[in-house]
């Protein structure tokens, strides 16, 4: 359909008053919570989910944008953390990614102090030339706090953090929140999706024959993409030429030690393994490429390296890395796995749900029109490509060549957008952030330096400082970081006082 005929059909569409969310889980209930809290007084919101259909439910590590999401919806942080047995997250520890036996942390903090002409990394590089600089991470509060297993909220947002949380409990919390703002939940399976004469979705028909009509439909049906893919026929862009992993195995274990405020991502022969500590248990999993190993070997690697008794049987999750060609088609918006999937290396799954919801709210239509749809899709595509490139970066600049998997990672042809970023940093030490992209310059610098990519040049601005002045500058930052970290309580001491589990016995049964 061309734009003229599409615009004509849009005039036949009714004002958006009835919103139907197909699917629950994290994506569905986040959408229900945000829509009901902001527009619930003018919308009739229905969420359909079936207790018979499970959710993937392993996206348990988040990034700091979720803190903002809770603040926007006026969700009390202590309440949601207590309800989800959450702990704090200051970053991600990458073990064996630069090379076997080498590690680094990508933290949520800002490293050092930038000058308007040059980032802190240039002053650090100058200091290293002169024998004055310590490890790059020693100039970052969040990174050092993670290493020392410490945390506390600081005045004026003085520490950046996110959460580790139980995603199943999070969905339950958001369900209670949403129902408090008028969301109606319908239990049952969707039997079919009915189309209107103009090609829009008119209703979902339940397995029992009941019909739920709507003006706007939100597809949260997971990898099935029942509405956006199966019904409306929107295609999928496959990114497996850059992201080889296509399978995950997840298992929960008992906690044996105090939870640390970071996720551990350990590189393996044909993928990587995660460890996410909650208050009441630990989430573990392995992500791997079926082209480079088999399920039995991956399972053995995972189960051979976990700690604590198993609380669940290992669960296999197969996926295809990539993105729906259009996240919004006609009167259907896809969120979460229905929209696409990137392996959770940088904990972006929940963020992408949140961004899709926020973008929808900011462009919420009175009557659905193609201009809104096109703009929404353009913004979604731009953001996901930047995140895709950041995830690929971890494989592209690794020094590992010890297995076929890592040799294939080193040999792959990179997207031109990522190739430029790597070449720019490798030659000049510079990173330029693209407007509205998720990962700030410091994230790119931390990962590239952490993976062992050392720039051949640096900015001349630090040459204006003599050794004494440069040493005073660097040491002043480092001492402030260390002084602040030394005054922080241990992570779990803070958690126990700030957001203890409401019912340890109930948590143990989850």
DSSP string for 225-285: -IIIIIIT---EEE-TTT----EEEEEEE---SPPPSSEEEEEETTEEEEEEE-SS-EEEE
pLDDT of residue 358: 96
Contact 473, 126 (CB under 8 A): no
Q: What is the pTM of this model?
A: 0.93
Encode burial over 120-131: b for 16+ CB neighbours within 10 A, e otherwise. Answer: bbbbbbbbbeee
pLDDT at 1: 39
Kindly list the structural domains of the chain, giving each domain's residue range(s) and its CATH number in brackets, ordered by start.
Answer: 3-60+166-238+321-368 (3.50.50.60), 89-163+247-318+391-486 (3.50.50.60)
Average pLDDT per 10 consecutive residues for the chain, totaling 510 residues: 42 90 96 97 96 64 94 96 97 97 95 93 96 96 98 95 95 96 96 96 96 98 96 97 97 95 98 96 96 97 95 94 97 97 93 95 94 96 94 97 97 96 97 86 96 95 95 97 98 96 52
Q: What are phi and psi of 13, to 5 degrees?
A: -75, 145
CB 470 within 8 A of CB 123: yes
- pLDDT for position 4: 39
pLDDT of amino acid 60: 87
The backbone region for 222, taken as left when phi is positive above 0, alpha when psi lies in -120 to 50, beta otherwise, is: left
61, 264 in Cβ contact below 8 A?
no
Q: Check 41, 89, 126, 502 and give the catalytic one.
A: 89
Active site residue 326: no
DSSP character at residue 116: T
Q: Are 394 and 409 in contact (CB under 8 A)?
A: no
What is the radius of gyration, based on Cα positions, of the chain?
Answer: 24
Q: Which pLDDT value is given to residue 507?
A: 45
Residue 140: per-residue pLDDT: 97
Helix or strand holding residue 48 (H, E): strand 44-49
Neighbours of 311 (CB within 10 A): 17
Q: Is 260 left (phi over 0), alpha (psi -120 to 50) or beta?
A: beta
pLDDT of residue 57: 53
3-state secondary structure of 183: coil
């Amino acid at each position: 359909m061309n734009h003229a005929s599409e615009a004509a059909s849009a005039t036949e569409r009714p004002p958006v008053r009835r919103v139907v969310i197909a699917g629950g889980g994290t994506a569905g209930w986040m959408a229900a919570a945000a829509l009901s809290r902001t527009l619930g007084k003018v919308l009739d919101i229905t969420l359909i989910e079936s207790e018979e259909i499970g959710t993937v439910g392993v996206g348990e590590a988040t990034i700091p944008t979720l803190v903002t999401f809770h603040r926007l919806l006026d969700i009390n942080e202590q309440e949601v953390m207590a309800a989800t047995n959450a702990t704090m997250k200051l970053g991600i520890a990458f073990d064996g990614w630069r090379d076997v036996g080498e590690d680094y942390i990508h933290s949520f903090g800002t490293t050092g102090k930038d000058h308007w002409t040059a980032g802190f990394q240039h002053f650090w590089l100058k200091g290293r030339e002169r024998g004055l600089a310590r490890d790059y991470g020693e100039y970052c509060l969040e990174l050092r706090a993670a290493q020392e297993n410490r945390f506390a909220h600081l005045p004026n947002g003085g520490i950046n953090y996110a959460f580790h949380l139980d995603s199943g409990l999070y969905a339950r919390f958001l369900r209670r929140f949403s129902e408090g703002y008028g969301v109606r939940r319908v239990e049952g399976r969707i039997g079919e999706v009915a189309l209107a004469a103009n090609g829009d979705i008119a209703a979902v028909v339940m397995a029992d024959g009941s019909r739920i009509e709507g003006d706007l439909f939100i597809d949260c049906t997971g990898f099935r993409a029942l509405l956006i893919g199966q019904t409306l026929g929107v295609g999928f862009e496959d990114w497996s030429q850059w992201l080889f992993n296509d399978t995950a195995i997840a298992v929960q274990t008992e906690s044996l030690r105090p939870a640390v405020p970071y996720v551990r991502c350990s590189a393996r022969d044909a993928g990587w393994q995660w460890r996410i500590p909650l208050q009441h248990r630990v989430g573990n999993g392995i992500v791997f490429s079926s082209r480079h190993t088999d399920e039995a070997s991956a399972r053995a690697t995972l189960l051979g390296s976990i700690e604590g008794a198993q609380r669940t049987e290992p669960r296999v999750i197969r996926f295809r890395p990539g993105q729906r060609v259009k996240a919004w088609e006609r009167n259907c918006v896809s969120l979460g796995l229905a929209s696409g999937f990137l392996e959770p290396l940088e904990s972006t799954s929940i963020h992408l749900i949140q961004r899709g919801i926020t973008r929808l709210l900011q462009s919420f239509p009175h009557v659905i029109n193609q201009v809104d749809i096109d703009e929404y899709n353009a913004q979604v595509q731009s953001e996901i490509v930047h995140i895709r490139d950041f995830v690929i970066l971890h494989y592209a600049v690794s020094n590992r060549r010890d297995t076929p998997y890592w040799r294939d990672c080193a040999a792959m042809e990179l997207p031109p957008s990522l190739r430029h970023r790597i070449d720019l940093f490798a030659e000049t030490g510079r990173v330029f952030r693209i407007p509205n992209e998720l990962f700030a310059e410091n994230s790119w610098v931390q990962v590239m330096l952490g993976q062992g990519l050392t720039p051949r040049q640096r900015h001349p601005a630090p040459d204006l400082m003599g050794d004494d002045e440069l040493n005073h500058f660097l040491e002043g930052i480092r001492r402030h970081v260390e002084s602040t970290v030394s005054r922080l309580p241990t992570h779990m001491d803070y958690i126990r006082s700030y957001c203890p589990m409401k019912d340890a016995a109930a948590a143990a049964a989850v």
